[in-house]
Structures are given as C-alpha cells and as structure tokens.
Amino acid sequence: MAQIIACYQQSKHNFMRSSQISIRRILLPLAILTTTTVANAQQTTVVDSALLQRVAALEQQVADQKPGESHLMIVGLTTFGFVNSKTTFKPGDGTSVVSKTNSLGDADRYELSPMFLWRHGTKWLIEFEPSFDGNTLGVNWANISYFAAPGLTVRAGYFVLPFGIYNKRLAAGWIDKVAPDPVGIDLPGSDFGVGISGGFPLGSMKWSYDVSLTNGLQLLPDGELQGSGITDNNNNKTVSGRFALLPLSNSSLEIGVSGLYGGVADAGSSYNNANTTMLGADLSFVKNLNPLLINIKGQYSVIKVNSQNYVESSGNTLYSFDNKSTSAFAQLSVRPVSAENKLLKNLELAFRYVNYTTPAQSLWGQNYHEEDIGLDYWLSWRTVLKFTYAVSHSLSTENIPAGGTGGTTDMNNMYLQFSIQF
C-alpha cells in the first residue's frame, strides 16, 4: 500500500513537473508573440500618424497652389557654328572680284532662343520666345492661346503668320536639315493680331486650318515688303491663312495652300491703294521605308504688290515695274533609322534646292538659285551636328538707270553648325 501511495505521489509529481514544462513552452512563445504584436501595433500607429500628417501637409500645399504656378516651363534652342564663304562678283562690264570670309558668329546662323511656355489649366497657354541672333535681341513670338473647343484654338498677340510650313514648323536649327534658311522664304514672318486654328478628322484623312487677322506688311520705297514689326503703319488689316489636307490615314503626306491679302502702304503715303496678295503651296511627305526614313519638304510662294510708282534713288524720277516675286524650295533627306550600326543610323543626308526670283527692273531684281548638300549627325533626338555645302548663283535684273547694279554673284559656302533644343 505504501508503495502504491509512493508511486502515485511520484507520478503526480512527474505529471505536475511535466505540465509546468509544457505550460512554460506554450506561454513563453505566446508572451513573446503578444509583446511583438503590441510593439508592432504601436509602431504602425506611429507610422500611420506620421503618414497622415504628411498627406495632410501635401494636401494643404496642393490646396494653396494656384492654377498655373507650377505650369511654367522653359525650353528653347541654340544654334551656332562656323561658315566659310567665297563670293565672286562679276559686273556686267568688268572683271571679277573675289572675296573670302569666315565667321563663327554669323547673324544668319547663330541663334539663342529660350522659349517660355506657361499654361493655365488646360485651356490657356502663353508662348513667348525672345531671341538673340548675334546682333539684336528680338522676339519671335509672344502670344496667348485659348483652347475653346476641340478643333478651335483662339490666339492673340504676336505670332508667326499662317503661311506655308517653313517659318512656323521647320525653321528651328534642331529641326532644319541643312544649315542656312531658304532665301526668300522669310515673308510674311510674325505680326500682331488675332487668329484661330484647329485640326479635324475627315474619315481616314484629316484637315486643318489656321487663319489670322493682323496689322500687315509694310511697303518700302523700293517696292520691297517687310514685316511691319511692332508699329502698325496704316489702318488696313491683313488676312492670312493656311488650309491643309492629310489624305493618308498615317499622316505621312500633308498638302497645304496658303493665302494672304492686305494693305501695305504707310498711312498718308503717295502710293495708290497699295496692297499685296500672297499665294503659296506646300508639301510634306515623311515615310519610314525600312531601313530608310524618307523626308520630303517643299514650298512655293508668290508675292505680288499691285501697280505702283516708285521714286528713283536720285529722288526726282518715278519708275515702275511688275512687283512680283516667287520663292521656292524643295528638300529631300534620308536617314537609315533602322540600321544596326549606331553611327550609321544617326547620320542623315540632305539635299535642298532653292529658287528666288525678285522683280526685274526693280532695284532688288535677281534670279537666284541655290543648291545645298548636307550631312547631319544626330547626337540625340534634339541635338544635331550639321555639315552643309551650299552653292548659289544670282543674276542681277536690277534697274540700272534707276540706280541698280548689274552682274552676277556666285557664292560657295561651307557650314559647320551645332544645334540643340533643351
């Protein structure tokens, strides 16, 4: 009996001990788990609180921000280079005169133009581009646009007139395929006024319009036209516009027609209701024909001023001429964009032909043509190094009795130009 009792007590003791060990084994991890969970919970609460405070601060910043404050961006471009020029002037009755020049900062090939784009929400946009061309600090455009409806943008201010494609889209150095601008393509330039523009689908095609009402051009004493700039020279206004059709669904082909009409005489001048009519046509074709990207551009313009009498340089005699000018350029560039060789795929070969004819028997009459060949290397999509060789020939058709000069002028220009957009 005593043995049974002793055995029972021993078993009880063992059981109790075993139970205590088991409880410890369970409770210890439980305690650790509980402690960790509580700590984590406290940490999460702290993080959430900090996050909420941060979100609240950001919300306040957003609420304090006025539309437009963060929507000012500055882009722009710069173009600089070197031009080596040889000019051979041959008078009608004399010997040739040859002159050679070279320049790093030529006015026609240097440009620094920051562009300020400032949008207010998604309806208003201000575009302002001051420009330093090596001689003067001017303004290319400074206008405000209101995006009134799909396909209707209203703008006002100083802007590039809608005529042709070169001045508005292709003139920037980082876009242009050869170094110089086509001669005679600068008119009508920029002017003060109002305008509307937009683009619409038309089945698988699309079309666009760009129309403006501006102060207009100015007729100079020798019959040339120039942009009126800041000062309006008369009470007439000028209407100009361009309509374009993109007949292919992939937008590769664009055909545009342009027109301009307006008075050009200075107020109170002796000109007889002087006005100008400009007509133009342009074409753009860009197509990736693997492995080449083919890019064709062209523009033809006719500028006509109605019949006027002009004063000779002596100031005593009147003379007249058919004041009609034509300017044209045709351009082809090819780039092997799909080539595997990196050096090759960044090269672009460009050709351009320019023809510019100004009125015979004027003081600025000439038949001019120019051929350009260029090799460009694209360092990035907006950075280019260009080498262009240009040959031009000009035959003077000036009115010699009125003070003009005859003869021919031949030029050979070699350009090395760098252009970047940023």
Partner 1 sequence: MKTSSIKKITWVIIAGTGLLLAGILNGCVESQKVAAKSGVQLWAENCQRCHNTPSPNSFSHDQWITIGMHMQTRAQLTEKEKEKIVAFLTQ
Name the residue nearer to partner 1 (CB basis): 152 or 400: 152
Question: CA 220 to CA 113: how far, in whole Å?
Answer: 29
Name the residue nearer to partner 1 (CB basis): 176 or 370: 176
- Using a CB cutoff of 8 Å and minimum separation of 24, what contacts does 312-319 make? 312/402, 312/403, 313/363, 313/402, 313/403, 314/403, 317/402, 319/361, 319/399, 319/401, 319/402
Name the residue nearer to partner 1 (CB basis): 145 or 308: 145
- CA 19, 22, 28, 31 torsion-angle sign: negative
Distances (CA, A) of 274 to 144, 266, 309: 31, 9, 10
Distance between first and last Cα of the chain: 105
Mark residue 72 as left, alpha or beta (left: phi above 0; alpha: psi -120 to 50; beta: remaining): beta
Q: How far is the CB of 125 from partner 1 (least distance, A)?
A: 5
Question: CA 277 to CA 299: how far, in whole Å?
Answer: 17
Q: How far is the CB of 396 from partner 1 (least distance, A)?
A: 35
Name the residue nearer to partner 1 (CB basis): 244 or 305: 244
CB atoms within 10 A of CB 203: 7
- List the structure tokens of 54: 């941060």
Q: How far is the CB of 33 from partner 1 (least distance, A)?
A: 44
Q: How far is the CB of 192 from partner 1 (least distance, A)?
A: 16
Place of tokens 């090759």: 344
Name the residue nearer to partner 1 (CB basis): 216 or 359: 216
Q: How far is the CB of 270 from partner 1 (least distance, A)?
A: 16
What DSSP line would sit under 352-400, residue for residue?
EEEEEE--TTSTT-EEEEEEEEEEEEEEETTEEEEEEEEEEEEEE---T
Question: CA 166 to CA 417: how far, in whole Å?
Answer: 19
Name the residue nearer to partner 1 (CB basis): 57 or 74: 74
Q: How far is the CB of 46 from partner 1 (least distance, A)?
A: 32
User: Which residues in this chain contact partner 1 in the complex, by CB under 8 A?
Assistant: 70-71, 73, 75, 117, 119, 122, 125, 127, 145, 147, 149-153, 155, 168-170, 174-175, 196-204, 206-211, 213, 235-237, 239, 241, 243-244, 249-252, 254, 261, 263, 273, 275, 284, 286, 288, 293, 378, 381-382
Name the residue nearer to partner 1 (CB basis): 282 or 398: 282
Amino acid at 264: V
Name the residue nearer to partner 1 (CB basis): 245 or 360: 245
Q: How far is the CB of 220 from partner 1 (least distance, A)?
A: 21
Amino acid at 219: L
